[in-house]
Amino acid sequence: MQTDELDPDDEELQRIQDPVTVFCSRLQKAIKMLRSEVYPLEAGTVLQFFLKIIWNVFESPDKTKFKRLRTANPIIQRHAANYKAAMEILSLIGFHEDVALDGIGKTETSLVLKRNDPGFSWLAKSSLETCIVCGVAVAVQ
């Protein structure tokens, strides 16, 4: 008889599950921290902003404009740069700080997607969507 249950002692399965579990745990912790850092009504907007970033990368994986977020951009300032937890979420997704020269020789700080892992991005997207739905349910009550 064939069973669809996974063998918990399977080393290959464990090798995959461990990083996923760590990633999800860190992401949930960062989202919870973000909710405590921002005003309740703003939390949903910030989470939606992260969804848009992830979705842009999914839709256009070859476009560098979606893989580089200028920290001087007012939208990045408002939704990410001012919050430690938001920066942690971006880091988990794969964005890391990078300093480069702009077109006129001035230094510019950006968050650059250096690890484009569709699996982790999909997990982040799902977690963010769940938090948004839960947040809406809590706000309605």
pLDDT digits (tens, 9 = 90+) for 56-93: 988 888 888 899 999 989 999 998 888 999 999 999 88
Residue 24 has pLDDT above 90, yes or no: no
Average pLDDT on 21-30 reads: 87
**55 residue type, one letter:** W
DSSP assignment letter at 79: I
Q: How much is the mean pLDDT over the chain?
A: 81
pLDDT computed for residue 138 by the predictor: 41
Domain 21-140: assigned CATH number: 1.20.58.2190
> Count of alpha carbons within 13 Å of 106, Cβ hemisphere only?
3
